[in-house]
Amino acid sequence: MARNKYPEETVKLILDAATHLFVEKGYDATSLQDIINETKLSKGAIYHHFSSKEEIFEAIFHRIGEENTTALAKVRDEKSLNGLEKLRAIFKAALFNSNQSLMLTVTPCLLDNPRFLAMQIAQLYQIVAPKFIQPILQQGIDDGSIQADNPHELAEAIMVLSNVWLNPLVSMTDKAGMRNRCETFNDMLEGVGIHQLLDEEMIKGYISYCKSQHTD
């Protein structure tokens, strides 16, 4: 395949191919040569844009972040929903979006690589919590659908609990344990004025990402 004369199209080709391989084979099992073979580009064409597999993953991470930000903004700015409905919609979108398989696949890499982990934490604390979760909580407080105080701190707490404690690859548990965590998460939020954030569909979504240690 000839090198694409449009750099943005070449970058997209590389990122799409790498994303497919990371999901199919796993991040660690995918080599830079695999990505070269998948794209049918020359090694020079790949290295013109990326110096390593890690750099490719970082670009994928940023692309996913931009896609997620667009989806979050759409929910935040939706006029027909109250604050609690928006918060539920945010969680549902996060659980069932098209990037979830990739993020679950590369989560172990995030944990093992301080740079990637720092990127994830920065995205949660500097973008998602203050720009999306906090305004939605504040709207809920204003419209009465959420009876809570301290929306800034609550937004951060929700992000930590949902992205660490409820992430089965970060904090391992079986399916029964995940159901218990989801129900406990709901109970905790109920205590600060957020009523039943996770419905049964979302709880089953979390459970589906667990490796069961017991027969269901």
Q: Which of 36, 51, 66 is the last residue of a domain?
A: 51
Question: Considering the domain boundaries, does residue 25 fall inside one?
Answer: yes
Could you tell me if 62 and 83 lie in one domain?
yes
pLDDT in tens, 41-100: 999 999 999 999 989 988 998 888 888 899 999 999 999 999 999 999 999 988 887 676
CATH number for the domain spanning 147: value is 1.10.357
* 3-state secondary structure labels for all residues of the chain: CCCCCCHHHHHHHHHHHHHHHHHHHCCCCCCHHHHHHHHCCCHHHHHHHCCCHHHHHHHHHHHHHHHHHHHHHHHHCCCCCCHHHHHHHHHHHHHHCCCHHHHHHHHHHHHHCHHHHHHHHHHHHHHHHHHHHHHHHHHHHHHCCCCCCCHHHHHHHHHHHHHHHCCCCCCCCCHHHHHHHHHHHHHHHHHCCCCCCCCHHHHHHHHHCCCCCCCC
Q: Into how many domains does the chain fold? A: 2
Could you tell me if 2 and 28 lie in one domain?
yes
**pTM confidence score:** 0.82
Could you tell me if 62 and 32 lie in one domain?
no
CATH number for the domain spanning 40: value is 1.10.10.60
Instruction: Please give the pLDDT value at position 3.
Output: 47
Could you tell me if 43 and 58 lie in one domain?
no
Could you tell me if 132 and 155 lie in one domain?
yes
Could you tell me if 204 and 182 lie in one domain?
yes
Could you tell me if 184 and 85 lie in one domain?
yes
Instruction: Please give the pLDDT value at position 186.
Output: 98
Could you tell me if 47 and 78 lie in one domain?
no
Could you tell me if 136 and 68 lie in one domain?
yes
Instruction: Please give the pLDDT value at position 101.
Output: 64
Give the least confident one: 40-54, 96-110, 167-181.
Answer: 96-110
What range defines the domain where residue 13 resides? 1-51
More confident residue, 121 or 10: 10
Instruction: Please give the pLDDT value at position 105.
Output: 65
